[in-house]
Amino acid sequence: MTVEGRISPLFYLAGILSAQFVDTHGKVGVIIATGCYTVVALIWIVPDRRIGRAVREFGAPD
């Protein structure tokens, strides 16, 4: 499993918990949750090195 695959569930869990339990009357928990989801999205935007290696090795599909 990749690093992204291990880290993403932890950030999702942190986002869910912070949105529900941190500062329930304010917006701090929602801001933390949004930050966690943004980090996960940014982690997965960067392409996996194995994909580039496979394309160079076998060529792009037609």
Tens digits of per-residue pLDDT, 9-33?
999 999 999 988 887 777 899 999 9
1 vs 7 pLDDT, higher one: 7
Euclidean distance between CA atoms 37 and 12, whole angstroms: 6
How would DSSP label each residue in the chain? --HHHHHHHHHHHHHHHHHHHSSTTSSHHHHHHHHHHHHHHHHHHSPPHHHHHHHHHH----
Q: What is the pLDDT of residues 32-55, one digit of tens each?
A: 999 999 999 999 887 777 777 888
Q: Is residue 7 scored above 70 in pLDDT?
A: yes
| CA-angle at 61, arms to 58 and 62, nearest 5° | 135
